Amino acid sequence: MYDVVIIGGGVIGGNIARELSKYKLEVCMIEKEEDVSCGCSKANSGIVHGGYADTPGTLKSELCVKGNRMFADLEKDLNFGYRETGSLVLAFSDEEKEHLEKLYNDGIENGVRGLKIIDGEEVIKMEPRLNKEVKWALYCSDAGVCSPYEFTIALIENAIKNGMELRLSEEVIGLEKSGDIFKVKTNKCVIESRYVINAAGVYSDKVSKMIGVDTFDIIPRKGEYIIFNKDQAYLVNKVIFQVPTKKGKGILVTTTYHGNLLIGPDAEQVAHKDDVSTDEKSLREIVDSARKSVSGFDMKKALTSFAGVRPTSSTKDFIVEETDVKGFLNVTGDSPGLTSSPAIAKKVIGILRDSGLKLEENNHFIAYRKPIFIKKDRDFKGDINAIDPKKHIICRCEAVTEAEIVDALNREIKICSIDAIKRRTRAGMGTCQGAFCRPRVRKLIAETLNIKEEDVGGLAPRSSDLHNRVKRMDIMKL
Ligand SMILES: Cc1cc2nc3c(=O)[nH]c(=O)nc-3n(C[C@H](O)[C@H](O)[C@H](O)COP(=O)(O)OP(=O)(O)OC[C@H]3O[C@@H](n4cnc5c(N)ncnc54)[C@H](O)[C@@H]3O)c2cc1C
């Protein structure tokens, strides 16, 4: 019997889990995949948004601004990778300037700090490699970038350290309430709990309907990206947006937390919630649109393409509420759900308290979580031998050591796949995309866990055949 069961190990479930682990509660998280952060929390832009893009008065606008302000402290505790960079929304005409003014006014109403509209000259001073045709931009000093899957992993590792139980590879297939107790039926057993939090992302409408709450649908909206080698990151320092379109925030150009150039995403409603395929038409549109902001990227340096599916709600806002079924909470949201997730979790704690859950402080709560991976970019001043005295580099492109991979395997979340190691250490994320290190990672996982190599999980289904596509599309020449 648990006090709270959380369905879904994404960034929203992860933040809720960590907040709950600050109290003396029996908490269990159920995740259908073999690792956490396998939904849209792993495939997004990783932007910590300023909070000017959401309509004032919505939950999105309130929780995005609050969430943004929590990232610096979370990074100090959890070491997942966050950097404040600032952002620019570019305008190329007078009509587009009107959009900037609207965003500015909305931002001020939402309580965003560090906003100003600047002229083209100042924009180019800030970012010399942008398209010189730019006339104005909305600058927001408070925006940043983070590593979204490492954030999710860090939150859940920390929640487990503080007492939460994680059940991986277990799918919730039914829900019932008998008296005050929920029976959560999974593909493996029945789990009892006093409260249930539905944080199932694109499947949150399906889970909600299991208990008879049919108040919203999730409309899956896919976004595709192209990620480039780190030598392309000299092009931009800040997150570069264009004025939003009806479909959303538009195509951005940014340097990721780990120093790759990233362009995307588009927004396309899809029939299947797990559709993370990429296609030439979308990729061409992304390249064309990104080139309006900055044209200098070299398509030969594109590493791969990928896609994520936004859990867009039919209510057009986040859903963070106790439902008509007392003790059952729906918590779901598309962009800026990553930015807002720490504030969403605080709101959930308030709802649980109001609903009668006794929240007694856990005096043994440990806030700190040690990093797995030591960031080794051009600023790395350290000695790699100090990280791994055996001096064993497993992934040459990203300088990932054996010690880092062994550390990842011995953490709170029990993992057993090349994909899980990739998300935690970056082995396989470099120029050769794992061609060199994949067999070595597989061998090391097998040796460390004392299992057969054929029992080590591989990579998640991939959508990218980017190099051949780039040739076919001939976009290198554009
Ligand atoms: C293309 C794109 C770009 C984005 N960019 C940004 C951005 O830059 N900044 C920002 O703030 N936000 C961004 N977002 C939004 C952000 O990624 C999401 O709001 C956030 O990741 C949602 O987290 P989640 O935990 O609800 O969902 P998920 O990460 O999808 O987690 C839900 C989990 O529930 C599990 N699950 C589902 N059904 C069951 C079941 N029956 N039993 C057990 N487990 C189940 C899934 O396997 C999954 O792991 C973007 C999203 C996309 C797709």
- Asked whether the predicted pLDDT for residue 476 surpasses 60, the reply is no
Mean pLDDT over 85-97 rounds to: 96
Q: Any catalytic annotation for residue 49?
A: yes
pLDDT of residue 22 exceeding 60, the answer is yes
Q: How far is the CA of 179 from the centre of ligand 1 (A)?
A: 32
Structure tokens belonging to residue 247: 């479909």
Tens digit of pLDDT for each residue in 160-213? 999 999 999 999 999 999 999 999 999 999 999 999 999 999 999 999 999 999
Q: What is the pLDDT of residue 475?
A: 54
200 in contact with ligand 1, CB cutoff 6 A? yes
Length of the chain: 478
DSSP run (H or E) holding 291:
helix 280-293
* pLDDT, position 384: 74
As a whole number of Å, the end-to-end CA separation of the chain is 61
With contact defined as beta carbons under 8 Å apart, do 139 and 126 qualify? Answer: yes
Residue nearest to atom 15 of ligand 1 (CA): 335
Q: Which of 49, 99, 258, 467 is catalytic?
A: 49
What integer is the mean pLDDT of 79-98? Answer: 96
Evaluate: CB of 44 within 6 angstroms of ligand 1.
Answer: yes
The per-residue pLDDT for 374 is: 81
pLDDT in tens, 233-271: 999 999 999 998 776 778 999 999 999 999 999 999 999
- Residue type (1 letter), 24: K
284-338 residue pLDDT tens: 999 999 999 999 999 999 999 999 999 999 999 999 999 999 999 999 999 999 9
- Supply the pLDDT for residue 88: 98
Q: With a 6 A CB cut-off, is 39 part of the ligand 1 pocket?
A: yes
Segment 82-109 shows an average pLDDT of 96
Q: Residue 28 pLDDT > 70, yes or no? A: yes
Half-sphere exposure of 23 (CA within 13 A, CB side): 18
Mean pLDDT estimate for the chain: 94
Residue range 385-418, pLDDT digits in tens: 777 777 789 999 999 999 999 999 999 999 999 9
- Give residues with Cβ within 8 angstroms of 310, minimum separation 6: 40, 202, 220, 221, 222, 223, 267, 334, 335
Distance 328 CA to ligand 1 centre (A): 19
**Residue 246: per-residue pLDDT:** 72
d(CA 478, CA 473): 10
Which residue's CA is the closest to the ligand 1 atom numbered 33?
Answer: 8
**Ligand 1 contacts CB of residue 60 (under 6 A):** no
pLDDT > 90 in the chain, percent:
89
C-alpha 263 chain-centroid distance: 15
R_g (Cα) of the chain, nearest Å: 22
pTM tops 0.85, yes or no = yes
